[in-house]
Each structure stands twice: as structure tokens, then as C-alpha cells.
Amino acid sequence: MFSSFMIDTWIAASIVAVVAGIVGFFVVVRGNAFAAHALPLGSFPGAAMAHVLGINDFVGVGLFAALGIAGISQLGRRSRHDVATALSLVTLLGLGALFLSLTTAYSQGVYALLFGQVLGVPGAALPPIAALGAIAVAATLVLFRPLLLSAASPELAEASGVSTRLMELLFLVIIGFAAAVAMAVVGALLVFSLMVGPASAARAMTSRPVAAMLLSALLALLTAWASIVLSYLSDWPIGFFVGVFAALWYAWGRLPIWHRTAARSR
């Protein structure tokens, strides 16, 4: 489990967990869970395009993430945000279906990007994962106050000179970076689980933003480590364990609230 070929796995999973936990706090606070699901899922076909064109997977993923961000941002000006997100997602998935139809030698890569393959993360993938993760975390910390203010009180944010539309766009970009980091490890279908589950529990456990963000990162880190161990021992997909732990963290965080609600009803 701690042999030399597993070192890259532990490093990659730890980076992904910290990034997902920190960004995930604002995903929950700002109500961007759908976007956190749609951007990774809409970005993975970019890797299929990269395979067809013979370029690096991260280039394709980044391009499709940019298309998704532009689509959600522009369409969101003229329609509901969830509708804009859904339209962007189906468009990108349609393009992905086209690129996948052009190659028959990418089934294993598609499976890895959808469901994760942390035990197969190569050492060469660590520098781009670390760089993208550092950008996402740094941007989140720099924009901490305006992101929080625009989520808690958009009117007050506008009065203070903070553009809520700009914050929405910048945060979509941050989600795109975080998604690109996490896809290689936990897969597109479960990126949002790692972002939403620990962050939801952390927010329920404390009302202090900084403490909640740090707790979210810690819970995400524990999730990643525990999932690696259980995946290694059972030979089951790591995505399964990530999803289960995300649900358990959410339930644990909500237990006091459910208890208080039940006590008041009695």
C-alpha cells in the first residue's frame, strides 16, 4: 500500500482532496452544486477530442471546461442559471459523443475519466495536477471575501462595489480548474461528490466560514485516504468509496439538525 508505485497515488489524491474541500465550501455556500457536477462531466469529452487530435488530455479538458464556463455564463444572462447549465452540459456531451465515435481505442481512458483510476495515476501527471490545484486554491483564497459576500448578500455586495456577475464567472473558472485536477483521480461523475459531501457536513458543523472551509478540506482528505485504502484492499473502484463517504459525511453533518427538528415536532 505504501510501496514506491503507490506514492504518486497518495500525492495525487491528497492534492485533489484539499482542492475539492476548499473549493467545495463555496460550491455549497453559493449553491453551485449543479455547475460542480456539469463542468467535470462536460469537460471529460475534451480528453476524447485530445486523443483524436493527438494532443495532451489536459489541453482538451481545459478547452471543454472553458466552453462550459462560457456557455453557463452567457446563457445564464438570458435564462435561469440551472437551464443554462443543463444546455451547456448537453451540448458538450453531444460533442463528446462525436469525438468518441471517431475512435475505438479510448474505452479505458473514458472509464478512467468517468469513474476515476487513482491507482493508475502516472508520475508525469503530478506537476499539472499540482499546478492546477495551486491556481484553484490561490484564486479561492484571494477572492474569499467577495465570494462570501456575494453569496450571503448580493445586494450588499453590489453596494460595496463587488460585481456578483463577475464573481459568478470567476468562481465557475475556479470550479473548472478544480474539476481538471480531480478528474484524473476520482473521475468526472464523482468530482462533485468530493466537493459537496465534505463541504455540506463542514458547513452544518460550524457557522464560521474559515473553520468550515478548513474542516471541509480535512474531511475531503480523510475521504480520499480512506477510499485509497479500501480500494486497494477490495479491488473495488475508488469512486464507489468516495461517493459512499460523501453521503456519510453529509448525513453526519445533518444529524444534529434532524434531531432538533424532531425534538421540536414532538
User: Within a domain: residue 90?
Assistant: yes
Share of the chain above pLDDT 90, in %: 19
User: Within a domain: residue 59?
Assistant: yes
Domain span holding position 151: 4-261
Residue 133 burial (CB count, 10 A): 25
Q: Please give the pLDDT value at position 102.
A: 76
Q: Say if residue 45's pLDDT is above 70.
A: yes
- CATH of residue 72's domain is 1.10.3470.10
User: Within a domain: residue 187?
Assistant: yes
User: Within a domain: residue 266?
Assistant: no
Do the beta carbons of residue 257 and residue 61 sit within 8 Å? no
DSSP structural state of residue 104:
S
Q: Say if residue 219's pLDDT is above 90.
A: yes
Q: Please give the pLDDT value at position 147.
A: 92
DSSP structural state of residue 235:
-
User: Within a domain: residue 214?
Assistant: yes
Overall average pLDDT of the 205-230 stretch: 91
Q: Say if residue 165's pLDDT is above 60.
A: yes
d(CA 116, CA 186): 4
Residue 111 burial (CB count, 10 A): 13
User: Within a domain: residue 130?
Assistant: yes
User: Within a domain: residue 37?
Assistant: yes
Share of the chain above pLDDT 70, in %: 84
Burial, 171: exposed, middle or buried (Cβ in 10 Å; 0-12, 13-18, 19+)? Answer: buried
Q: Please give the pLDDT value at position 11.
A: 87
Structural domains in the chain (count): 1
Ramachandran area for residue 24 (φ above 0: left; ψ -120 to 50: alpha; else beta): alpha
Overall average pLDDT of the 1-9 stretch: 72
Q: Please give the pLDDT value at position 164.
A: 86
Compute the C-alpha angle 171/194/188, nearest 5°.
80
Buried/exposed code over 190-211 (b: 16+ C-beta within 10 A; e: otherwise): bbbbbbbbbbbbbbbbeeebee
At residue 78, the 3 state secondary structure works out as coil
Do the beta carbons of residue 192 and residue 20 sit within 8 Å? no
| Confidence band, pLDDT 50/70/90 cuts, at residue 119 | low
